[in-house]
A and B are shown apart, each in its own frame.
Chain A
Amino acid sequence: NAGVTQTPKFQVLKTGQSMTLQCAQDMNHEYMSWYRQDPGMGLRLIHYSVGAGITDQGEVPNGYNVSRSTTEDFPLRLLSAAPSQTSVYFCATTILDTQYFGPGTRLTVL
């Protein structure tokens, strides 16, 4: 996993609740990304970061916020969860343009 950890592994939320998905890496990599994976949709980029203090939107950013205060951590925040955000979320770090994924967080929004 190139030292990428994600917590929690599983989470169930009610509509309107907020939560933060944690992602951390211990390899001092600059580039980090968040993806969501839905059946038949592949991996879609939510947000990414090219270094501490620098983030940008991917293709499906709505409903999600990110920040990158340190190189190690890249949390993903859901401010008001919706059932459409039920998905598996993967954090990834980049080494020479190759993505190394964390184990994922399976999120269900009721």
Chain B
Amino acid sequence: GQQVMQIPQYQHVQEGEDFTTYCNSSTTLSNIQWYKQRPGGHPVFLIQLVKSGEVKKQKRLTFQFGEAKKNSSLHITATQTTDVGTYFCAGPRGSTLGRLYFGRGTQLTVWP
């Protein structure tokens, strides 16, 4: 079945460095979503990408959806300690609304 693969599993950066996490699907996705989970917290929705080649920005975060709608990336410019957490991508499971397949996440650590 469809799976969503995410790399890397861990990333340690010094504050001010950039960070990127990548997500790949074995099948074409109708959309891809990104979530952030702070340590000890719950996943929080960040953004949804729908169109082929779509790029969206939220302050220092840039999200991209590949032309083939099989891959996506999240790039953080000049990381801050507030960026610490685990970032998940998620794609729909089939056609049923609300069923998502989550990647395993990238855990970001930022040294001050």
User: Which A residues are closer than 8 A to B by beta carbons?
Assistant: 1, 31, 33, 35, 40-45, 48, 50, 58, 90, 94, 97-104
Count of A-B contacts judged by CB separation below 8 Å:
59
How far is it, in angstroms, between the C-alpha of A71 and the C-alpha of B90 when the chains are bound? 25
Least Cβ distance of A92 to chain B in Å?
8
Interface size on B, residues (CB 8 A): 25
User: Is B102 a contact of A42 with CB atoms below 8 Å?
Assistant: yes
User: Is B105 a contact of A98 with CB atoms below 8 Å?
Assistant: no
- Residues on A with C-beta less than 8 A from B103 are 42
Q: Is B100 an interface residue (CB 8 A)?
A: yes
CB nearest neighbor in B for A103: B42
How far is it, in angstroms, between the C-alpha of A48 and the C-alpha of B92 when the chains are bound? 14
Least Cβ distance of A39 to chain B in Å?
9
User: Is B45 a contact of A98 with CB atoms below 8 Å?
Assistant: yes
User: Is B45 a contact of A97 with CB atoms below 8 Å?
Assistant: no
- Residues on A with C-beta less than 8 A from B100 are 45, 97, 99
How far is it, in angstroms, between the C-alpha of A33 and the C-alpha of B96 when the chains are bound? 12
User: Is A102 a contact of B97 with CB atoms below 8 Å?
Assistant: no
